[in-house]
Structure 1
Amino acid sequence: MSAIPPASAETIDTSKPHPARVYDWFLGGKDNYPVDEELGRQIESLEPQTKYCAQHNRWFMRRATRHLAEAAGIRQFLDIGSGIPTEPNLHRIAQSAAPEARVVYVDNDPIVLAHAEALLTGTPEGATEFLEADARDPDAILEQAEGVLDFSRPIALSLVALMHFISDDDGAYDIVERLMAALAPGSHLVVSQMAGDFDPERTRQAVEMYKAGGVTLVPRSRAEVERFFAGFELVDPGIAWLPDWHPELGVDEVRNGTPVPLYAGVGRKR
């Protein structure tokens, strides 16, 4: 399977912010537009530690991937809502531990697609592919990913900083259930999710800011995050605050002790 061709500039909607580009701005990237920066600055004015929290999401992805590739022996990864490339990417982490690892990235933002080529430089022993698909269409994702991944063997499904952009009305739990149902026993689910029970008033204001920018934001409580893992075996320490999920696996992480109001969890399908 070949990569999706880069999208043309004409297909990029710069009239409203996109979560991947706002996230890129939080991380100090340059692949965003004034409308993304505007929303990012509004959120930062409400919560000055937002950029720090975004960095923690990246750090969690790296720690979880390192754990799965090294301790759990996972050799296949499906990363949905991959976002704009930020080194080291998931496949760099996975293939540094296991050069034969196969990684599929999925996103639906044209500017992310335009950077797909940068994502596709992996090890010769492994595979790295990029698919254009919407997270709300799990069947399309699974159909395309079958060209790269062996669904008879365990796969790690990575949904990092994604599910808080998908509402219950859009079938958030059904999407995760459908994706995991297609994966073999021994597969893992990786989720980070904005907390709805940390600072309810500030969270409400953040939801309103995103809504004004045309972006859905759905914070969830610990119990609501646990629901994504129903029937799975949670990896210790279970559902935890982002910085508390296996901090010993971190490399070059700089922490200042500031609370990070996002939950993290990794679960194994029996």
Structure 2
Amino acid sequence: MKTSGGSDAAKRRAGESAAETVDDGEVVGLGTGSTAAHAIRRLGDRVDAGLDVRGVATSFASRELAVDCGIPLIDLDEAVGLDAPGIDRAIDGADQIAVGRGDEPAVGPLIKGGGAAHAREKLVDAAADRFHVVADPSKEAAVLDRSVPIAVLPDGRSAVADAVRAAGGEPTLRLAERKDGPVVTDDGQLVLDCAFGEIDAPERLAATLSATPGVVEHGLFVGLADAVHVGTETEVRVARR
């Protein structure tokens, strides 16, 4: 259930804007998706020009792109832990960003998981000192209302689906587009796309889903983003927390 929306030019502006914030010597979390891919490509250009960085990939796709772009990579375990360098900055996309009802952009909670990489993405984005979200205007909303992707243990699919219904949601097993059967994540989980309508209390829903047995990770990212780069046809709007 990948999301569609803004133009490639808008996505490129957002991704490149975030990539320009990276400083020499940093460890950078590399997100997944079409907008994050522009950030990875720009980082590759900067590495080719002499920038010294190491990347931590959030998916097989982002790892392959980073290798193609010449970005040195380390595993998450190498970046986070005793005597590890840590992750200085993560750059990742979003399927929807709550920006509030005001005139100025805001850094609110996110829904991620359209590419079924949200479990690894949340590990990397939460571990980073600064998390930059890259998006186009189609991803902005006053209130979150997209379906929330939930990665589940295959044997727990039915139990999690029942818990989602009890919480007011309607779960749908995500099916693969080019093969029979369901989508399977890089880590071997299934994905339930769960419609809750307008999510007025994302913190409460996130806590409910996190406490549900069988849930590996959900796509609500609450309180994690530090900056949002929104690319348009002519500029980039940046909001910071």
* TM-score (ref. length: structure 1): 0.39
Structure in which a larger fraction of residues adopt strand: 2
Structure in which a larger fraction of residues adopt helix: 1
Flag the structure with more relative contact order, 1 or 2, with Cα contacts below 8 A and sequence separation at least 6. Answer: 2
